[in-house]
Structure formats: C-alpha cells, structure tokens
C-alpha cells in the first residue's frame, strides 16, 4: 500500500547464527475484502478525526499563524511536534488540554524559515485509534532562499545516507550555490554533487559510507545569489556520523528479506511485496522516516478506496512517492507465500505494534539511512530522485549532475 502522504501514482553483536522466522506471516492487502479494521468498520477520514492547523503541506505559513491540533470527540493520546531549521531538529513544547480535545504549543509564535512536523495519535468517540502525520513550512522573506537539509545535525545514520538539500525556491545560479556547499568526510572519501532539477542538490560518495565515518556539511549560502535578486540566508556547519552497516535484500519472488549487519547475515524474514497489478519498485531505497504508527489511505496515492488503515505500525518510508516497509496485522497469511500489497513491503505485526514480531524486531534495529534493496519484482527500478534513490545511478552519470564544469 501507499502512505497517505505519497505524491505519485501506484508505485510501486553475535551475528554467527542466522535467525529465521518461519511461519510468521504479514503484509499489505491487495483489496478491501477481508480487511480487518478492528471490528469498527470503515474508519472516518483522518482529517475528520485529527484536525491540524496549519494545513498539511502548507508553504510560506506566516509567523503569527496558529499551530493547533484538536479532535471533535474522543481524546488525543499523544502529540509530537518537531521544528527543523538548518538540519537541527528541535521538539516544540506544548500541552494537551484537560478534556483531551486539543493541543497547543507553549510558545504561540512560529519560527521563520522552518519546517514543522506534527505526529498525533487519538481515539475517536467510538474508541478507534487513529494517527495523523502532517508537515508545513513557514515564510521565508522574498529576497532570501534556504535549503532544508537531510540528515539532521549530530545524528547517527545508516550507511546509505545521502546528503540532500531541498530549496524553498528554484535556483537559477546552480554553480554558485553548489560552490557554497562543502561536504567532507573523515576518513576522507571523494564526495560529489548531483542536481535534480532546480530545487534539489544531493551529495554522496561512489559507494556506501564506511561505518564510523564522520561527515561534515558546511553551508556558506549567506548572500550567495541563487536567482536574480534572491540571496542565501544560511551560514552554518553541521555534522553526522555513519553507524553500523545494515543492508536488507528483499526478494519479491521468494517473499523473503535478508537482513545483513556489517556484511553478515543477521536474519531472514518472510515478507509480502506488491501484487501483480501493483508491484513494488526494484532497486536500492534508503529509510528516510520512521513512524511507530501512521495512517495509510489509498485515495491519496492514486488508487480508489481499496484501503484506509488508521494505525499502521512500524512504518519506515523508502520513497517520496509512498513506498514503505511496515508492520501488518490485517493479512496474516501472505508473507513468505504470496505478494498481495499495493507496492509496499509488509512484515507480520500485531495491532498496536509488537516488539517481538518481525516488524517490531526490524524497526528496533533500524536507522534512518539504512538501505533496503528490492530484486525480482516485475517493475522498473526506482528513480534516483524518488526519496534518496541516488544509489541507483552509476557513478559516472552521477558526476555529470554537477553544475560546476
């Protein structure tokens, strides 16, 4: 299935012992028939259960706009809001009202040139649990541009992390902007840039990072003219560390996922991948987001009403267009046997998410930046700009994406 915030069409340490879950089965459903939603029938739309302002996907939100999360009935269980500026994630303190119907930040005024992420879980008036994940960005002065940076400062990431800058406006003078961004590594390794259109600049080495590598990103964008009359705002240095190597190989034909840690086979897990009409992309994908629970709705990614699941557990985003590896409690007979999903990779789980299930086990041992590669699926290779898919581009082609000749 595809996540409610997808943007495209159907898209698709003792390590000597090998741990295999035989008979633990999970996955996405290929249709609405037989879908178990906890005995309550079809859930209400997520925006009807959890109402968030500013709107999801909002851009240029004013500094005086009100940030609020509320439910018309039931109660909020948890609300987490994070503010991202210059690759620094900062929790936004706030409180849930005594009646459980609303959450508000302790500081009313929003920050300029920031991205806000809201994750809320609530029970509606019938006791059904629902989750909502929204984002919005705040106003940047017209004569300035900024880059939203991945990964965050001081983070520990997987071996497949790609440094990615997404700009708030089109960059016309790409060479000048590229020269103002310096990415270095210790121990040293060649790192090269690649532009995806005028709004995104990624950096990576030829091969996956070696564990333990320290990567430093210096943004020297302040007063650099990125477009006529539009100048950079940021002058900031940040860094991150590459942790252990974990690369997982999903074989869509065999319905298995081999999890390798530092090259050694750690586990073989039964999975279900995309059904024949809704196949999973082949290729290398990188975990960019990890959500303990989220909602997935087929209508937001180009399907009809095949599914709308309010509380998908252990969800790990692999592409911008909506490919996830996630837990599944509603289709227990698929993984290891048959591919039935709408393009995601499903692992067995329980309602609410279990720590001793294959999905919980994998989630607890994963990092942002880990690699999941899919093979033997009847689909094309994932595009290099779909999430952090740049590893699917050859090194020679990657280097041609630099604006500095």
Residues forming the active site: 326, 344
What is the rounded CA–CA span in Å between residue 275 and residue 330?
16
User: Is 298 in contact with 304 (CB distance < 8 Å)?
Assistant: yes
Question: For residues 40 and 310, is the Cβ–Cβ distance under 8 A?
Answer: no
Integer Cα distance of 93 and 342 in angstroms? 37
Cis peptide preceding 290, ω within 30 of 0: no
Distance between CA atoms of 256 and 266, rounded to whole angstroms?
Answer: 13
Query: How many residues does the structure list for the chain?
Result: 405
The answer to whether the beta carbons of residues 227 and 211 sit under 8 Å apart is no
* Other C-beta atoms lying within 10 Å of the C-beta of residue 144: 19
Query: Looking up tokens 């706030």, which residue turns up?
Result: 94
Residue 47 has a CB neighbour count (10 Å cut-off) of 12
Task: Give 248: exposed, middle or buried? Use CB within 10 Å, 0-12, 13-18, 19+.
Answer: buried
Residue 341 burial (10 A CB sphere; 0-12, 13-18, 19+): buried
CA 127 vs CA 76, 123, 397: distances in Å? 11, 5, 53
State CA 277 to chain mean position distance: 24
- Element holding 77 (H helix, E strand): strand 75-85
Contact call for residues 313 and 131 (beta carbons, < 8 A): no
- In b/e form, how buried is each residue of 110-132, taking b as 16+ CB within 10 angstroms? bbbbbbbbbbbbbbbeeebbbbb
Alpha helices per DSSP H over 52-94: none
The DSSP string of 333-374 is: T-TTT---BSSSEEEE--TT--TTSHHHHHHHT--TT-EEEE
């Amino acid at each position: 299935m595809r996540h409610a915030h997808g943007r495209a069409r159907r898209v698709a340490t003792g390590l000597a012992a090998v741990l295999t879950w035989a008979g633990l089965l999970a996955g996405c459903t290929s249709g609405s028939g037989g879908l178990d939603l906890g005995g309550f029938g079809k859930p209400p739309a997520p925006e009807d259960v959890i109402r968030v302002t500013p709107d999801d996907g909002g851009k240029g939100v004013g500094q005086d706009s009100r940030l609020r999360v509320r439910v018309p009935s039931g109660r909020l269980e948890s609300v987490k809001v994070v503010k991202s500026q210059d690759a620094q994630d900062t929790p936004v303190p706030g409180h849930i009202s005594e009646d459980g119907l609303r959450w508000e930040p302790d500081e009313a005024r929003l920050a300029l040139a920031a991205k806000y992420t809201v994750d809320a879980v609530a029970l509606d008036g019938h006791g059904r649990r629902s989750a909502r994940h929204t984002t919005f960005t705040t106003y940047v002065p017209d004569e300035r541009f900024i880059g939203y940076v991945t990964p965050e400062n001081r983070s520990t990431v997987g071996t497949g992390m790609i440094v990615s800058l997404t700009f708030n406006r089109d960059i016309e003078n790409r060479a000048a902007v590229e020269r103002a961004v310096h990415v270095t590594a210790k121990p040293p390794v060649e790192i090269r840039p690649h532009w995806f259109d005028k709004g995104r600049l990624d950096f990576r080495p030829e091969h996956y990072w070696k564990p333990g590598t320290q990567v430093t990103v210096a943004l020297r964008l302040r007063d650099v003219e990125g477009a006529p009359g539009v100048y950079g705002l940021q002058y900031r240095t940040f860094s991150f560390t590459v942790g252990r190597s974990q690369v997982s190989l999903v074989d869509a034909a065999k319905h298995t996922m081999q999890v390798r840690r530092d090259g050694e086979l750690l586990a073989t897990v039964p999975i279900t991948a995309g059904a024949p009409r809704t196949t999973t992309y082949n290729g290398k994908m990188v975990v960019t987001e990890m959500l303990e629970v989220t909602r997935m709705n087929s209508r937001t990614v180009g399907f009809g009403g095949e599914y709308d699941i309010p509380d998908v557990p252990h969800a790990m985003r692999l592409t911008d267009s909506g490919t996830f590896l996630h837990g599944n409690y509603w289709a227990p007979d698929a993984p290891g046997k048959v591919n039935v999903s709408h393009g995601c990779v499903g692992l067995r789980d329980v309602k609410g998410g279990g720590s001793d299930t294959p999905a919980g086990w994998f989630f607890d041992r994963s990092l942002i930046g880990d690699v999941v590669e899919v093979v033997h699926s009847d689909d094309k290779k994932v595009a290099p700009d779909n999430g952090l898919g740049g590893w699917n581009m050859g090194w020679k082609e990657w280097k041609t994406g630099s604006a500095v000749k």
